[in-house]
Amino acid sequence: MKMYYDKDVDVKALANKTVAVIGYGSQGMGQSQNMSDSGLKVIVGLREGGASWQKAKDDGMNVKTIEDAAKEADVIHILLPDEIQADVYEKSIAPYVKPGNTISFSHGYNIHFKYIKVPEDVNITMIAPKGPGSMVRRTYLEGFGIPGLVAIEQDATGDALDVALAMGKACGLSKAGILETTFREETETDLFGEQAILCGGVTELINAGFTTLVEAGYQPEIAYFETCHELKLIVDLIYEKGFAGMWNDVSNTAEFGGLSRRDRIINDDAKKEMKKILSEIQKGKFTKEWALESTAKMPMLNRMRELESEEKIEKVGSKLRKACGLEKKAKEKEEKVVVVNFDKTKKK
Binding residues for Mg(2+): 190, 194, 226, 230
- Sequential DSSP letters for 281-300: HHTTHHHHHHHHHHHTT-HH
DSSP one-letter code for 258: H
CA distance 215 to 324: 24
User: Which of these is catalytic: 77, 107, 112, 229?
Assistant: 107
Taking the CA atoms of the chain, what radius of gyration do you get in angstroms?
Answer: 22
Q: Which helix (H) or strand (E) holds 244?
A: helix 231-249
Distances (CA, A) of 319 to 130, 237, 252, 309, 325: 31, 26, 32, 13, 10
Longest dimension (CA), the chain: 67
Q: Which helix (H) or strand (E) holds 204?
A: helix 200-215
77 labelled catalytic = no
CA distance 197 to 238: 15
Handedness of CA 5, 121, 92, 186 (dihedral sign): negative
Q: Which helix (H) or strand (E) holds 179?
A: strand 178-180
55, 26 contact by CB (below 8 A): no
Residue 178 main-chain phi, psi, to 5 deg: -115, 120
CA distance 228 to 268: 25
CA distance 205 to 126: 32
CA distance 96 to 76: 10
The count of other CB atoms within 10 Å of the CB of residue 54 is 12
List the catalytic residues.
107
